[in-house]
Amino acid sequence: MTQRRPLALVTLPRDVGAADAAAQICEVVVWPEVADPATFLAERAGMVQAIVTASTLPFPAPIKSFPALSLLAFFGAGYATPATDACRDRGIAVSNGPATNHLDVADMAVGLTIATIRRIAESDRLIRAGGWSRLHPVAMAPSLRTLRYGIVGLGAIGTAVAERLAAFGGGIAWWGPRAKPDARWPRAASLIDLAQTSDVLIVAVRADADSHDLIDAGVIAALGPGGYLVNVSRGFVVDEDALIEALRHRRLAGAGLDVFAQEPTGPARWAGIEGVVLSPHIAGWTHTSIAAAQDLLTENLRRHFAGQPLLTPVTS
C-alpha cells in the first residue's frame, strides 16, 4: 500500500517555483489558486503538515488553525514573521533558505547604487520623453571611486556588497549590532557614525524584530543632503515616511530601493519624488538563486518528513 504523501500548503504563486520544489516530497495546495479559502480552511486545514511561505507574504490563517502542522518552511532567507514566533511557541520546526541568493542581491545593491548616483533611470526617461535637447541634460554626478560607502549589516549579502564595491576604489566601512573580528573593513562606532562618515549607505542588515525602523529620521539626517541610501534588506528596516520627506525636501540626494514598507508599493506614494530608483523586490529573482532555493526547500522537506535534522533550521 502506497503511503500518502504529507500535505503542504504553499502561499507563494506557482510561478515562483516553490510549489514545484515542494511537490517533489509533498502533495501541494497553492494558496493563491484556492477558489474558496474559507471552505479549504474548514475542510483541509487540519491535514496540512507543512506550510511553505515567504516573510513578505500575508499568512492564510493563524497557526493554531493548522493542528497537524509540523514544519514552517520559508522560501528565502527571511523568516521574521508572527507565524515564526507562533511556531516556536508550539514547538513547530521552522526552516529558511539562507545563502541561496546573497550574491545576486549584492549585485542588485551595487546596480541600484550606480543607477541612483549616475541617474541612469532618469536619463532613460528623459530620452524617451524627447528631453535631450542640449548637452549634458542631467545634473553632474560624483565619481564612484571618490565616495565613501557604508554598509549596514556585514552578513553574507553585506560582505558580497563590500567585495564588489572594493573594485571602485572608494572607502568602505560597516556597522552591525555584533562585532566581527575577522572583518576586512573597519566597523563604525555606531550606526549614526557610519551614516555621518558615508556618502552612500547600503542597507543589507538581517531583517528581524530588532531592525524595524533601524534607518530612522536621525540616521537619514546624519547621511545628509549629499548622501544616498540603498536598501536591499526589507522595507520595514527603513522609516519610509521619513525617507520620502527627506527626498521631497532635498535633505537626501537620492535612494535606490528594492524593498518597501508595503508591497506592492503604490505609484502615488512616489509621485513627484526625484532622485529615486525603484525596483519591485527582485534582487534575488534570478535563475540561479531560485534553483538553489528550490533545491534547499526540497531537501528540508525531505529531511523533515524522514525524521532527519533540517539542513537549515531557524533556531534564533
Residues belonging to the active site = 234, 263, 281
The dihedral sign for the CA sequence 140, 172, 249, 109: positive
Residue 31's φ and ψ, nearest 5 degrees, are -55, -45
- Return d(Cα 280, Cα 265) in angstroms, integer: 8
- CB of 44 within 8 A of CB of 9? no
Between helices 287-305 and 102-117, what is the axis angle to 10°?
150
For 287, other C-beta atoms within 10 Å of its C-beta total 9
* Cα→Cα distances 121→54, 151, 230, 286, Å: 29, 23, 15, 21
Residue type, 257: L
- CB of 114 within 8 A of CB of 238? no
The DSSP line for 248-314 is HTTSSSEEEES--SSSSPPGGGGTT--SEEE--S-TT-SHHHHHHHHHHHHHHHHHHHTT---SSB-
* Cα→Cα distances 44→60, 149, 189, Å: 13, 51, 53
- Return d(Cα 180, Cα 50) in angstroms, integer: 36
- Return d(Cα 312, Cα 256) in angstroms, integer: 31
- Return d(Cα 178, Cα 153) in angstroms, integer: 9
Residue with cell 555621518: 196
